[in-house]
Structure 1
Amino acid sequence: MPLLTPYVALLSTEVATLQSELEIEDSPNGYRLAYKSTRPGDRDKHGNLWARMEETPGPSKVLYHSMHPRRQRECMEHMLCQVCREPADRNRQGWLFIDWQRVESPPTWPERSLTSMPPVCAEHARVSARQCPHLRHGPYVVLRARKAPLYGVAGIVYRLTLNGWVTTEDDVLSAYSKKRLPGMLASRLFRELRGVTVVDLP
């Protein structure tokens, strides 16, 4: 059976917009990273600039280890299944997620875990458990979260120097509860999982 292509998965023909499209602009809240030509949806309601992906010609393959920033953001904002883009499953125990423990996970994991993985519907929770290559690398749990408030964004932070752009090597997490990073180019939206119950596959 061929592997299902999750809606949020990045394709090899989708590439990041060139750094030459970025600039520094003066806004009412100070200087910040911007695109030279603006498009609707470039920023979220918190003012974070989001990474753009451009289509390139040729055959593509699914990059299961990466997510498309716009599609990931869409599913996380609207609680849509990361595989089919339909509403994620929810019952009295909460929203349905698949999660795994990471180095940075809190001691209370999976309670109060931060996740950039959008929720799933019941059907595709089962399919993901069978097919997702990413889930084969370590133990995971299927869980319900009664609350999953938006927590913040993560991305590369840019700084313009006399020699051009300098960036952080790794993604930086920026919580909504703290001051926004004006040089961030966001690529992932995070939610915090609260009221967690580990469950069997539905």
Structure 2
Amino acid sequence: MTTARTTLPRTRNTTVRPDPRLIPFVIQREGEEAAPDNLRFTPIGGGRYRLRYADEDPRDRDLRGVLWARCGFGPVDDQERPMGRPQWRMMHPLRQRGCMQTLRCQVCAGPARTPLGWIFLAGPNTVDPGDEPVLTNQPPVCPEHAHAAAELCPHLTAEPTVLLALSAPLYGVNGVGYGVRDGNVQVVERPDGPIPYGHPLLSTVLASQMVRRLGVFRLLSLDELFTELESTA
């Protein structure tokens, strides 16, 4: 698991409340459309195949070798932040992957680690600590943007469940399985949930989201989180 740098805790008074200009870094913007897939299959022996792009670039695969969906990038501002109208219910696959892979904040793309661990947010009644494994496709947030993420993200509420994680190893990806049908490479399988790394299906999967497993974590409210962060200052 990639380790992000430890940052100083932020107090409740310094948290950023959302304004019309604040849009999470991972949100897809209008005009950032899926790129032509240009997909092919390569035999890898034993009757198995590997999905690839005809003009594949090393950046098309993640650290575990899984192929990722291509998506265009829109213009950025002078701070390299995406511009354009937000598509609120969609995360840009490569920005989501980047934040998830390096455990950076989904709002500002800065380091998300705190002295107490990483802050993951979940909607009401969506996490049962008794269910294993506990998975998330949502990158963490930094303390400064925890309130903003809760109020901006469609799947959350103003008082989300906070999962304060000491351990969040990579688990797998969300994606679709490809095969050959009527002589064409096309989607033949849509898994119900995340596909774990190491699964035999991954050689023919086109991923769109990276998923982590929350290994060691506590459930808190936002108020409880900031009280604990303040005590470490």
Whether TM-score is above 0.5 comes out as yes
Structure 2 match to 1:70 = 94
Question: Does 2:185 match 1:161?
Answer: no
- 2:29 counterpart residue number: 11
Q: Give the Å deviation of 1:185.
A: 0.3
- In structure 1, how many angstroms separate the alpha carbons of the residues matched to 2:134 and 2:208? 19
Which structure carries more strand by proportion? 1
Query: Percent identity of the aligned residues?
Result: 38
Corresponding residue of 2:70 = 52
CA change 1:170–1:17 in 2 (3 A) is farther
Q: Which has the larger radius of gyration?
A: 2
What is the alpha-carbon root mean square deviation over aligned residues?
2.6
1:61 to 81, 85, 93: 85
Q: CA deviation at 1:67?
A: 0.8
Q: Compute the TM-score of the two structures, normalised by the length of structure 2.
A: 0.73
Q: State the distance in 2 between where 1:171 and 1:13 align.
A: 28
111, 119, 124: which one pairs with 1:96?
119
How do 1:140-151 residues align onto structure 2 when only pairs under 5 Å count?
140-151=160-171
1:176 and 2:176 correspond: no
1:23 aligned residue:
40
CA positional deviation for 1:97: 0.9
Q: C-alpha distance in 1, partners of 2:59/2:31?
A: 21
The 4+ residue runs of structure 1 with deviation greater than 4 A are 27-30, 169-172
SS of corresponding position for 2:148 = helix
Q: Is this contact kept in 1: 2:26–2:91, CA < 8 A?
A: yes
Give me the whole-angstrom Cα distance separating, in 1, the residues matched to 2:217 and 2:73.
38
Alpha-carbon contact 1:9-1:63 (below 8 Å) kept: yes
Take 1:135 and 1:127, find their aligned partners in 2: how far apart are those partners?
A: 11
- Partners of 2:92 and 2:35 lie apart in 1 by 13
Shift of 1:132: 2.8
Deviations 1:87-131 (A, max 9, x none): 003223x211101344xx65615x741001000000110112233
Q: Secondary structure at the match of 1:133?
A: coil
What are the ranges of 5 or more consecutive residues in structure 1 without an aligned counterpart?
A: none
Q: Following TM superposition, by how much is the alpha carbon of 1:200 offset from its aligned partner in structure 2, in angstroms?
A: 3.2
Counterpart-to-counterpart distance in 2, 1:74 and 1:42:
12
Amino acid in the other structure paired with 2:43? D
Count of residues in correspondence between the two structures: 195
